[in-house]
Structure 1
């Protein structure tokens, strides 16, 4: 009934995922593992390859560094996707996607929707739960890729964009694409533990720019109770945070300069401008 697809580079992590599936599922499933130990595929290629091999109607794309925690989550998974109005589900999302390149999780906490356990570097865990309206499913603009669920018929209409290279921003792109077919939502009855942290590398920045430019005619997107004030707050925070990341990453000078000037012009009295000007000066002499 359920095809679970993962892109694997680590046998230890894969073994933990397999063990958690055995302990928590109650329905018939197949696990399709795309071996990427030789870095042959980007994640979109791996997921499309796995989906093409699948034999069941419900597709669950998961990172290999997760552990499922609640029994019968697979029944909940199928229940949500049996609703014809729903095209894509996940466990971490955001009700806003701004015009600025940005990830899913935001510093503006009340725009996040999430039910997840995060394993920390010291081995301890912390639980995140943001569901202010106590919904069964919260409609969001974008989802994080640690878990993405859809049907095979939806995937056959819109697959992962293999032009997005590497392993970043494919989830935002897929969310925005799947929203053309139905509702994209965060569900709260599938609990997993994420055993590593995402990285914000130069590839991350490049892919966020690519995806934002691809969908710029549709942005910004607001779902749920997001209002104009909340959107403005997010636009400001996303622009400042993305600019800081570009400067810290020593990203391409012309791109860093472009976003830096945008921050300075839009928010001339913001204290972050001192940091931005200092970094621009430092990098201009290197």
Structure 2
């Protein structure tokens, strides 16, 4: 009944996940694993190819570095996907997507919803759970890509955008915003999985976020009514995080400066701005250029 689609790079992780699914899913299934590295394919293309090969009406797109802890989780998933008003199911999401590039997770007020185990290297997994309204499922604006589930019909109405997003980032936010036209995007709490890694914010992540922003600029910020009072805090949080990513990756000076100015405009005369100004001049691309110029003038 469920086609599980995996973009794989590691045979050991794939085998571990396959064994886990076989023991836990609780119904008829298939696993479609595609190695994008060998073929030079981005994750959107991999997922669309997997969906095209799927023989079952329900699709589940997952990272290979996870394990399911809920016995019979496939039955729980079908219960949600069979509700006509639900288009996309995840296990970690947020009720707002800021205009500023960001992860799905935004640690502001009560904007996040999730039920997930996160393993840190060499440590016992930590259980993160937040369901403030004690719901079976919570409507959100975006869900994280470690677990995405929808019907074949809804995937066909809005497939992963392989023409715009050719890498391995931003696909989950894009898919969430697109699937919202088909129905509700929700986080569910009766599927518990464990995730083994944390995503990194590399130059390629920044590039894909900028592409995503260009595509959805007119619709952002996107948020549920319950999140409206927290939009400014969310934008400030996202801008702080993205500016640091730009600085640490020594992204273009112009882009760094544009987000520094945006942060100053969002909260003028705030003492916290000094930290980001210092990081821009000392650690950023401009700081590197000034050091090089000073060094050459001395010699």
1:254 Cα deviation from its structure 2 partner: 1.1
Q: How many residues align?
A: 285
1:7 Cα deviation from its structure 2 partner: 0.6
1:269 Cα deviation from its structure 2 partner: 2.3
Alpha-carbon distance in structure 1 between the residues aligned to 2:181 and 2:169: 21
Alpha-carbon distance in structure 2 between the residues aligned to 1:225 and 1:276: 30
Structure 1 gaps of 5+ residues are none
Check conservation: 1:10, 1:37, Cα contact below 8 A.
no
Alpha-carbon distance in structure 2 between the residues aligned to 1:111 and 1:39: 38
What TM-score do you get using the length of structure 2 for normalisation?
0.92
Distance 1:225 1:266, change over 3 A: closer
Check conservation: 1:3, 1:29, Cα contact below 8 A.
yes
CA deviation map 1:122-147 (0-9, x unaligned): 23210000110011110001010000
1:3 Cα deviation from its structure 2 partner: 0.5
Per the alignment, residue 199 of structure 1 pairs with: 200
Per the alignment, residue 100 of structure 2 pairs with: 100
Check conservation: 1:103, 1:208, Cα contact below 8 A.
no
Alpha-carbon distance in structure 2 between the residues aligned to 1:265 and 1:135: 37
Alpha-carbon distance in structure 1 between the residues aligned to 2:93 and 2:151: 19
SS at match of 2:217: coil
Per the alignment, residue 254 of structure 1 pairs with: 254
Per the alignment, residue 238 of structure 1 pairs with: 238
Per the alignment, residue 179 of structure 1 pairs with: 180
Alpha-carbon distance in structure 2 between the residues aligned to 1:255 and 1:262: 11
Q: Which has the higher helix share?
A: 2
CA deviation map 1:20-70 (0-9, x unaligned): 111102210010011224252110010001000001100000000110111
SS at match of 1:210: helix
Check conservation: 2:91, 2:187, Cα contact below 8 A.
yes
Structure 2 gaps of 5+ residues are 293-299
Report the structure number with the largest CA radius of gyration. 2
- Deviates most, 191-200 or 209-218: 209-218
1:121 Cα deviation from its structure 2 partner: 1.2
2:263 is the counterpart of 1:263: yes
Check conservation: 1:138, 1:186, Cα contact below 8 A.
yes
Check conservation: 1:139, 1:224, Cα contact below 8 A.
no
